[in-house]
């Protein structure tokens, strides 16, 4: 026997299906990006004291609606009122994206730009404006470059006064494998001021009547007054493989803090242990 479904029942089923489809659509929709609280100048985050280290995720930051020189996409804002007159150093060393840094003066718009920088130390920025006690200043960090299409990323902004640049490189340990002959050298890097370090490590070892030699470059993205560990892997370039034994090592490090360059050379001896 055929069954007949009443029209009201059909309408109820259709309405239920439409409601379920709407709920599914909402659940499937991607979450809207939420900009950081200090996405615009009027909502700038205060830098209360100096020295200061600020970390932020700028990936969802937008481009400032007000056209300003030296401010591009994914911009975030900070404000600072110094309690003493003098130079303030601002650096983005430690950030993992190409930053642009700008400083403005003035409590309200239009503001006067005091400093602007891109790529002072690798892809990070550094400025050193002269500030007057009691006046309000604005700091903008954005993503390079002119078209505003930078992606943003993990920002590290440091504010500090003074500090003489300096870098010290040390060797810690070495290990190699009798099977692969690949050498792994570890050490530390210490800098007086936040810096980016480029350097190299060279190794020489006598193996029987032959000599194993190799060199490898290294980069420390964020070198601080506290020792930062580094590791390089080196293959012999002479055909003789490294072995677990004593070897001569040499290192070179050039540190850039955005305001100057310093370097360090170190030589020594390590005894490589058996490793993977």
Q: How does pLDDT run across 85-103, given as a tens digit for each residue?
A: 999 999 999 999 999 999 9
Structural domains for the chain: 41-160 (2.60.120.380), 167-274 (2.60.40.10)
pLDDT for 145 beyond 90:
no
| Separation CA 193–CA 225 (nearest Å) | 7
pLDDT for 3 beyond 80:
no
pLDDT for 10 beyond 50:
no
C-alpha triplet 221, 223, 225: angle, nearest 5°: 165
| Separation CA 46–CA 54 (nearest Å) | 11
Q: For 36-60, how does the pLDDT look when each residue is reduced to its tens digit (9 = 90+)?
A: 999 999 999 999 999 999 999 999 9
Query: Mean per-residue pLDDT for 137-158?
Result: 84
The reported pTM is 0.81
Q: For 253-274, how does the pLDDT look when each residue is reduced to its tens digit (9 = 90+)?
A: 999 999 999 999 999 999 999 9
Tokens of 188: 């530390």
* pLDDT value, residue 247: 97
Question: Would you say the C-alpha torsion 143, 144, 150, 155 has a positive or negative sign?
Answer: negative
Tokens of 55: 């970390």
């Amino acid at each position: 026997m055929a069954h007949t479904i009443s029209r009201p029942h059909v309408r109820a089923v259709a309405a239920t299906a439409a409601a379920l489809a709407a709920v599914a659509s909402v659940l499937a929709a991607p979450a809207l990006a939420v900009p950081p609280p200090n996405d615009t100048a009027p909502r700038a985050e205060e830098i209360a004291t100096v020295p200061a280290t600020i970390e932020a995720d700028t990936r969802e930051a937008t481009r400032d609606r007000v056209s300003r020189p030296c401010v591009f996409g994914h911009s975030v804002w900070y404000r600072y009122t110094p309690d003493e007159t003098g130079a303030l150093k601002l650096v983005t060393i430690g950030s993992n994206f190409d930053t642009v840094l700008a400083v403005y003066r003035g409590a309200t718009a239009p503001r006067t730009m005091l400093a602007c920088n891109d790529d002072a130390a690798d892809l990070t920025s550094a400025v050193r404006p002269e500030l007057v006690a009691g006046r309000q200043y604005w700091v903008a960090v954005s993503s390079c470059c002119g078209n505003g299409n930078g992606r943003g990323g993990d920002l590290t902004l440091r504010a500090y006064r003074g500090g003489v640049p300096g870098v010290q490189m040390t060797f810690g340990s070495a290990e190699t494998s009798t099977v692969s002959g690949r050498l792994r050298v570890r050490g530390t890097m210490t800098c007086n001021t936040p810096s980016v370090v480029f350097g190299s490590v060279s190794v020489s070892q006598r193996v029987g009547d032959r000599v194993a030699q190799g060199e490898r470059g290294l980069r420390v993205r964020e070198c601080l007054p506290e020792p930062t560990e580094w590791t390089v892997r080196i293959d012999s370039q002479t055909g003789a493989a490294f072995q677990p034994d004593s070897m001569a090592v040499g290192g070179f490090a050039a540190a850039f803090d955005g305001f100057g360059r310093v370097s360090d050379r170190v030589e020594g001896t390590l005894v490589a242990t058996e490793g993977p």
